[in-house]
Structure 1
Amino acid sequence: MNGKRGVVLYGPPASGKDTVTAALAELSPRYTQFARLKVGTGKSTGYRMGTAEQLHELEAAGAVVYANSRYGNTYAIDKPGLDDAFEAGFPVVHLGQVDGIRSLVDGYPADWTVVLLWCPREVTEQRSEDRGDGDTSARLAAWEATREDLDAHPGMSWDLTVDTVAASPQEAARLIDQLLAQRTGAATA
């Protein structure tokens, strides 16, 4: 394609997106989590906090690849942010919507490796409670929405599917890294 390689991790809340991304970063510092622009409140770690005005300016410039609202916030994947992320290495983009994956793959040219991370609803609930989320019920609603999203897009193809109950984060990261190496014919580290 254009030499740019990135990873999309799709899955419900608490399926392991953050944990697998951390394991990827342990394999190689070239893997970095893409910090989406977040307009709203709450958790700021892993995001670039922004204002509604900033988001509107990006939208007006045609620089928003995908935006969605969840948990009372708006999250955006923007072209300038992706440009910066690719300068640093292999961005790992977390998504919970198939439409987001399609918008990203179609709207930002790169060799995207798309990975489905999955865990059962009760595992999402337990992991959410274990990590102290104050909004576990919203996470479970998002799990349901993710299941419905998958059911609504039966033709969606995945480069890799990982059951995060059966595979450790390190094993998932190793599989993703191997897949990237196979697809590009070169080592990622």
Structure 2
Amino acid sequence: MLDAVIEEEWDYRYFSFNSKWSIDEQMGSMRNGSGDDLFVLFNSSGCFLRGFDHESTMSPWNSIPPKIWHGVLDSVPQQFADAVSEPAFHMEDTTFCIWCREGDSNWSHGQIDFPKNEEDPDGSLWMLSPLEGNPETYQSFVKEYYELDVDLGIVSSIFSHEPLSKELLMRFPTPRNYEDVISDAEEIGYPFKR
């Protein structure tokens, strides 16, 4: 929701979310405009997440012909077979894949022989860090990526799911029209006041 408030054009948003991806699925994404992205699928089976860091050691494009690093997709549970074959997720560009099945208490990934002596060989560390749930992390991200100073209190309000209102929108450094933001909120599934 924060990215939707800050950036009017969906194509230029870093983070996006569609609560109506399909009848029984929701989808989130991250695209940084430099070729790195991730897609997250939520459904009754749980959560499936696939990411691509084009500069990582584990990029498929570091071999000829390009191929996904051994083990990254080999153990994906059958429940997420549709996600693995989803054209919108362009799985051929994958450096990491994790999932959490309904009822699991931990995230899982395939059996991977990671490159030695690298802190983040698949890009997952830097790509997932903004999703830690800390408003201060997002505030820092907005300052760096969008070059905007957004008050931490406003960011915290959205993180705590305070319903969007005209008054709350006016506290953001954005010229967005409230009715247009409401349309985004409906797609995202974020609460708002009429």
Fold shared, TM-score > 0.5 on shorter chain = no
Greater strand share, structure number: 1
Whichever structure has more helix as a proportion of its residues is: 1
Larger radius of gyration: 2
